[in-house]
Each structure stands twice: as structure tokens, then as C-alpha cells.
Amino acid sequence: MGDDNIRNSIRRLRFEHEEMTQQELAEAARCTRQTIGALEQGGYVPSLALAFRIARVFGLGVEEVFEYGPEEGTG
Amino acid sequence: MSFGELSQTRRRAWLATIIWAVAGIWFSIAFFSGGGAAEFDTDSGRHLVAAGAILFGFIVYWSSLWLTRGTSEQVLSDERDFQVVARASQVALVIVLICVFLTCTILWTVHEAAGVLEVGWMWFIAYGSMIVGLVSNAVVVLILDRSTFGHG
């Protein structure tokens, strides 16, 4: 599990959505601003439910916001 | 970043760290002043002061929970906070176990030759393990909340 690499495009998508603030996204996705910050820094992998809620805020599918790929040299 | 801008979890952890550190200092002064463990179990005055430290801690801590409760419309904590708090509890338990083990080992080593141990040390272990557990839990929450905990 530790070899998995999940990236996201939340920071870019926020700016593409009228420069939405972390707080606005957090409120819409029902999580805290700190969690959005941790997600953008790649320091936290969300639950499936939170991933769906964030994707829904942007009107996108989960795979358009989150990208999964094993790190090089694994698998 | 001001205190008010911190997440509820972080605010409560900071308050808990301060409150239980004060209670710990309070208890240490009550325990080690005026004879230490030797007379602690028979000195009702010092015993009362030591118990006051724990009472102070819980009253102020519960008050801080009420003061930081927020409103029902706000998202005050989420899945990441729950993970941080749960892991902090696990780590704090191990810290308490290690501290109790080390304290017992040191007491045994120091008092081995005498063959007796003042019963007051039992109170020290009882109060001490409680305070160490509560302080370490709050400190670990602060550390994990700052780290990249939850990745992968």
C-alpha cells in the first residue's frame, strides 16, 4: 500500500473554478480546510467518499481529479 | 496563523497540552514537596492538593471542549482528524506503558537494597501515568496533524 502513488489536480481545478479558496472547497466537500491543504500537498489520501464529494464539487469524475499509479520500480 | 484560524482538533490539542502540562507541574510540586513519597499517603493535605490537579485538569479541559464546540453548520472535523486522533491514542498508550515500565524499573533498582518501597510511589505511578497519557496524546495529535499522516 505504501508503494501506491495517488496524485490529484485539486489546486489547478480550484483556480480554474473562479479561484475557489480552500475554505470554499472544504465547505462544499464537507471536510476541513486543513484536509484540502494536506491533499494539495500530497500529504493525505482521502477516503473514496471524500474523493467523490470533491470531484462532484468540480463537476468531474473521480479519475479526472485523482490519478492513481504505482511508483516506478513496483508492480 | 492565529489561534482562531486553527482547526478544532488542533485548537483542542494545544489547549489539552497546556492544561495537562500545568496539572502535571501542579501534581509534581504537591508530590515532591514536603517529604516526597515517604509521607504522601499519610499527608492528607498534599493528597488533596494532588487530587486538585486532576480535578483542575478535567474541569478546565471539559470547559475548553465546550468553548471550542463551534456551530452545527460548520465542518469542524473530518475523516483526517479522526485518523489523527485515533493514531495519537495508540501512540499515547505505548508511551504510557513505556513510562510505567521505566518508572517501575527505576524504583526497583533504587530500592532493591532496602527491600521496601514507600506506598506513596503507587500514587505517583497512578497520577503520573494519567497525566503522561493525556499530555502525550495531545502532543502526538499536534505532531501528526502537522505531518503528512494519512498518506497511502
* Nearest in space to B36 (alpha carbons), one of B91, B113, B117, B108: B117
Query: Would you place residue B41 in the very low, low, confident or very high pLDDT band (cuts 50, 70, 90)?
Result: confident
Find the mean pLDDT for residues B83-103: 96
**pLDDT of A5 over the 60 cut:** yes
The residues, ordered by sequence, that sit 6+ positions from B32 with a Cβ below 8 Å of its Cβ are none
**pLDDT of B100 over the 60 cut:** yes
DSSP for A22-41 reads HHHHHHHHTS-HHHHHHHHT
User: Residue A45 region, left (φ>0) first, then alpha (ψ -120 to 50), else beta?
Assistant: beta
**Mutation target vs A (from B6, B80, B144; most A CBs, 10 A cutoff):** B80
Q: Is B151 domain-assigned?
A: no
How far apart, in whole angstroms, are the C-alpha atoms of residue A25 and residue A21?
6
- Cβ contact B123:B44 at 8 Å: no
Give percent above pLDDT 90 in chain B. 66
Q: Is B60 domain-assigned?
A: yes
Boundaries of every domain in chain A: 9-59
Q: Model's pTM, two decimal places?
A: 0.84
Q: Cβ contacts (< 8 Å) between B1 and chain A: which residues?
A: none
What pLDDT sits at residue B135?
97
User: Residue B3 region, left (φ>0) first, then alpha (ψ -120 to 50), else beta?
Assistant: alpha
Query: Would you place residue A3 in the very low, low, confident or very high pLDDT band (cuts 50, 70, 90)?
Result: low
The model's pLDDT over A31-75, given as tens digits with 9 standing for 90+, comes to 999 899 999 988 899 999 999 999 999 999 999 999 987 765 544
The model's pLDDT over B124-137, given as tens digits with 9 standing for 90+, comes to 999 999 999 999 99
Which structural domain range is residue B43 located in? 3-146
Map residue B6 onto helix, strand or coil: coil
Dihedral (Cα; B75, B9, B141, B61), 10-degree rounding: -150
Type of residue found at B76: L
Q: Is the minimum CB–CB distance between B81 and chain A shorter than 8 Å?
A: yes
Q: Cβ contacts (< 8 Å) between B81 and chain A: which residues?
A: 32, 35
ipTM of the complex: 0.79
Q: Is B33 domain-assigned?
A: yes
Shortest alpha-carbon distance between residue A46 and chain B (Å): 8
- Cβ contact B129:B69 at 8 Å: no
**pLDDT of B75 over the 70 cut:** yes
Label the pairing between strands A66-68 and A6-8. Answer: antiparallel
Q: How many residues does chain A have?
A: 75
Partner-chain contact B79 A50, CB within 8 Å: yes
Query: Which residue is closest to B7 within chain A, CA to CA?
Result: A34
Number of structural domains found in chain B: 1
Shortest alpha-carbon distance between residue A30 and chain B (Å): 6
